[in-house]
Chains A and B, each alone.
Chain A
Amino acid sequence: EAQVTQNPRYLITVTGKKLTVTCSQNMNHEYMSWYRQDPGLGLRQIYYSMNVEVTDKGDVPEGYKVSRKEKRNFPLILESPSPNQTSLYFCASIAKGQGGYEQYFGPGTRLTVT
C-alpha cells in the first residue's frame, strides 16, 4: 500500500531539547515536503526536497533543518525547539504525473513545546 508515515504522531517536549520527526514514503517519489499547520494560518511550507541531497527553504524555514540522505526518508529536525514551534506538522510525498503533481500527505505529528 502506497503511504507516507510519520513518527512520532504526538510529542510533548521542552524548550531547547533537540528532536527529530521522521517521514518515510514507499512510492519512490523524488519530491518531498514539510508543512506546519496553525489555526487561522492554513498550511505553510517549511522545507522541500527535489531529490537526494537536494533541499530548499519553503515559506517558514526558521528554526528547522532537514536532510535527504536517501530517497524514501525526509526527517525534520528542530535543533532547539521553542514554544512558537508548537504546531501540527505534515510531511508530503509528491508524485509527478502527466499534467501536474499530486501530493500525498502523512497522518501528521502534533508537537507541543513547553
Chain B
Amino acid sequence: DAKTTQPTSMDCAEGRAANLPCNHSTISGNEYVYWYRQIHSQGPQYIIHGLKNNETNEMASLIITEDRKSSTLILPHATLRDTAVYYCIERGTASKLTFGTGTRLQVTL
C-alpha cells in the first residue's frame, strides 16, 4: 500500500506560516498527493492536491519536490482555527484513500 511519513506533531505561532512536510517516497508517476485536515472529531476536510506542479488555493499552498518524493503544505498565516490534524495522502484512484496518522498542528497565541 502507498504510505506517507509525516511528523507526529508541530507547533506554530498565530500569524506565522505553518510548513507541514510529508515524505511519499513510494509514490508512482500518476499518483496525486492530497492534503486533508481534521479539526477535533469532525469529518476530514479537503485542502489541496497536486501531481508535480506547485499548487495554491484559498486555503494553502502545496510545494512538491521535483522527484515527487516529498511535499510541503504551507498555511501562509496560521490562525487558531487551523489547529487540526493534517493528513498527507497519496493515491491513484477514486476508490482508495489511505490515511496515515497525520501531523497534529497546534497554533498558539
Contacts and interface: CB of A to CB of B under 8 A. Distances in A.
Given A99-B51, A100-B51, A102-B49, A44 B44 contact: no
Interface residues of A, number: 31
Interface of A: 4, 31, 33, 35, 40-45, 48, 50, 56, 58-59, 88, 90, 92, 94, 96, 99-108, 110
Given A40-B101, A56-B95, A102-B49, A90 B34 contact: no
A41 B100 CA distance: 8
A42 B44 contact: no
A43 B99 contact: yes
A70 to B, nearest CB: 19
Given A43-B99, A48-B95, A103 B44 contact: yes
Interface bin, chain B:
20 to 34
B100 to A, nearest CB: 6
Interface of B: 32, 34, 36, 41-46, 49, 51, 87, 94-102
Contacts of B46: 102-104
Contacts of B44: 43, 90, 103, 105
A44 B96 CA distance: 10
A64 B15 CA distance: 45
A94 B42 contact: no
B42 A108 contact: yes
B43 A90 contact: yes
A73 to B, nearest CB: 17
Nearest to B101: A42
B106 to A, nearest CB: 18
Closest 9 CB pairs of A and B: A105-B43, A43-B99, A100-B32, A101-B94, A42-B99, A102-B46, A31-B94, A42-B101, A48-B95
A87 to B, nearest CB: 11
Residue among A4, A105, A107 with the highest chain B CB neighbour number at 10 A: A105
B94 A105 contact: no
A45 B96 contact: yes
Contacts of B102: 42
